[in-house]
Structure 1
């Protein structure tokens, strides 16, 4: 059997983690990003700017089995989200068409921001999608673009990614930031390694002929109130001071379920924030 070929568009932190895993499985991996010198060893570089409509000169000419669209917006406003998620995806789909490439499946990395629930409700892939802010609305627009492509697509809604280089909450705790316990603000998290693990799992499952759903939520096993996470981090880090002026403010409160991904056979390496943050902070 010929090893599958994948193009990872937006091969940054999460994309590079996926690339390393797929290379270990003998996949042929193309990585698209502006600065290809930052790609992991073994990844075939595609230097490109997703904001530009012109197909990059280094675009792969071989058949592509999979497209993983795994972009992170560099500009966190409406214009930045439109450019990264909607326009960028539209450009890549055009480049596929221009080169007469029809992948077996597109995997588009989205966000739980497409859900508007904010009262601590449980949310799964069948829950109502009603984004409130511009980020969720544009992410939903990009999801619909992916699902409307001429090849099958799967959406993966990742939530609260943390890991090396993503330690903002721990930094706030170290500075003594406080968070209200009432009403409880439920948050959802996934370690960066588990986010990459889920994406790899889905690609590998499809390559084996396993039928995939149109959507999966990428989250650990235990959504938790933010104050509980902060208190645990405070104890773990030995932080005793409490700021009288600085507080952690979050909007929204929902609990995302990973039951669908688990039913397919995926298991997170870090089932709760405790294991994940302990591994992160012990470094």
Structure 2
């Protein structure tokens, strides 16, 4: 059997981690990003801009067995999100059409921001999606474009991604970050390696002929109250001072379930924030 080909459109941090895992499994990987010099060794670079309707000159001309759309917004406002997730996806679908390429499956990387639950409810793929902000609304629109593209598609709704280079919370904790304790503010997270691992699991499952669902949530095994995460990190880092500012209260509080992804055979390498943050702090990932 010839090596399957995958095009990762928006091959940044998570996309590059996915590329590395797929290369190790024998896949032919094409990565689309502006600066292809930053792609992992072994990835075939496709120098292009998802925000530009012109097809990249180095677009692969052979078969594209799988497409992973893994973009990131450069401007964090509604226009920026629309450019990255709606217009960018439309451009890639047009480029595929121009070359007569019909992938076996499209994975669209979305976000748990499509869920507007705020009272600590458990959320799964069947839960209502009533997004409270523009990010969730734009993501829902983009999801529909993917699901109605004519290509078999699955949406991967990732929760808060953390990992090396994504250390905002660690920085805040070191500064004495305060979080409201009651009512609990539940947060959901997934290590960047596990986000990539989930997508690799989905691609390999499709390749084996497993029937995939339309939607999967990417989250670790233990959604946790943010105050508990901060408390654990303070102890691990030896932080004893508190910031003088009042407690921070973020909007939104829900607990996302990974039962569907785990039923497919995926197991997170970092099942909770403890293992994931410890690996970051100790330089093991």
Do they fold alike, i.e. is TM over 0.5?
yes
The equivalent residue for 1:175 is 175
Residue by residue over 1:72-105, the C-alpha shift from the partner in whole angstroms, topping out at 9 and shown as x without a partner, is 1111111110000000000000000111000000
TM-score (norm 2): 0.98
Q: Report the count of equivalent residues.
A: 283
**Counterpart Cα distance in 1 of 2:20 and 2:103:** 21
Q: Which residue of 1 aligns with 2:86?
A: 86
Structure 2 counterparts to residues 20-39 of structure 1, below 5 A:
20-39=20-39
CA RMSD of aligned residues (A): 0.8
1:115-194 correspondence to structure 2 within 5 Å: 115-194=115-194
Deviation at residue 249 of structure 1 after TM alignment: 3.5
1:187-266 to structure 2, matched below 5 A, reads 187-245=187-245, 247-266=247-266
Kept in 2: contact 1:115–1:131 (CA 8 A): yes
SS of residue in 2 equivalent to 1:176: coil
Secondary structure, in 3 states, of the residue corresponding to 2:244? coil
Q: Find the aligned partners of 1:237 and 1:163 in 2 and give their Cα distance.
A: 16
**What TM-score, normalized by structure 1, do the two folds share?**
0.99
Q: Does the 8 Å CA contact 1:189/1:273 hold for their aligned counterparts?
A: yes
SS of the residue corresponding to residue 54 of structure 1 reads coil
- Indicate the SS of the match to 1:202: helix
- Name the CA distance, whole Å, in 2 between partners of 1:29 and 1:173: 38
Residue 273 (str. 1) matches residue 247 (str. 2): no
Deviations 1:245-271 (A, max 9, x none): 164342100000000000111100111
SS at match of 1:268: coil
User: What is aligned with 2:60?
Assistant: 60
Q: Which moved more, 1:237-246 or 1:162-171?
A: 237-246
Which blocks of at least 5 consecutive residues in structure 2 are unaligned? none
| Unpaired runs of at least 5, structure 1 | none
* SS in structure 1 of the partner of residue 67 of structure 2: strand
C-alpha distance in 1 between matches for 2:249 and 2:47: 38
Contact 1:177–1:246 (Cα < 8 Å) also in 2: no
Q: Which 4+ runs in 1 deviate beyond 2 A?
A: 246-249
1:37-82 CA-partner distances (Å, limit 9, x unpaired): 1111111110111111111111100010000001111111111100
Any idea what SS the aligned residue of 1:275 has?
A: helix
